[in-house]
Amino acid sequence: MLEASFLGLSDRHAEEGTVSVWPAWEVREREGAWSWFHVRLAFDDGAQVDALAVLCGEQVSIEDVRAEPALSLDDLTALADWIEGPLFETCARADAACATGEGGEAAEFLASSRARPAWPRGVEGRRRVALEYRAAQEAGVDPVLAVMCATGHSRRRSLRLIAQARDAGFLTPRHARP
């Protein structure tokens, strides 16, 4: 058992830890696709961090983190610096494999998801947000996640775009008001 109460990532050096990244699964739906990766940061003293990262477009988000010993808030911030390079290298290798015809569906997804045109602004953008939102609803998937992947924006920004589409009349009101 480790004696430290927190891992102390910001106090450690790159030579002390090893980062491993491997694909977990991928989900494809219509125009959108998401790919999950397991990430493990291991140290010689037995300390370990396991994370689940999801790639959507050019954005990577961390969905789950487990650490022994526990991570402090500073450690959680430093975790991104530790795993960013190896995670993006894995994505780049998948892109290269796709370009050479190797690597299967995961490589195809990673290459295709990065070739997204800029999202239009104004009325056209709101109309397209509404189309993505309704298509996801009809397919039985999370419409906010579909808008996130289509636009490449964060959840907060995507929710704001959805609200703007509602205000513009492209989507029905969220709640009926008496």
**Strand, helix or coil for residue 177:** coil
Question: Is 149's pLDDT higher than 50?
Answer: yes
Instruction: For residue 172, give every residue at least 6 positions away whose Cβ sits within 8 Å of its Cβ, in sequence order, or none.
Output: 166
Calculate the alpha carbon distances from 81 to 13, 32, 55, 87, 97 in Å: 11, 28, 17, 11, 25
- Measuring CA to CA, which residue among 28, 81, 77 is closest to residue 55? 28
List the domain boundaries for the chain: 9-114, 122-167
pLDDT of residue 98: 40
- Over residues 91-120, the pLDDT tens digits come to 666 554 444 444 444 444 444 444 445 678
Cα Rg, the chain, nearest whole Å: 19
Q: Which residue has the higher pLDDT, 18 or 118?
A: 18
State the Cα–Cα distance between residues 116 and 159, nearest whole angstrom.
Answer: 20
DSSP structure class, residue 73: H
Q: Does pTM top 0.85 for this prediction?
A: no
| Distance set, CA 111 to CA 20, 55, 59 (Å) | 21, 12, 13
pLDDT tens for 27-48 read: 776 666 777 888 898 888 888 9
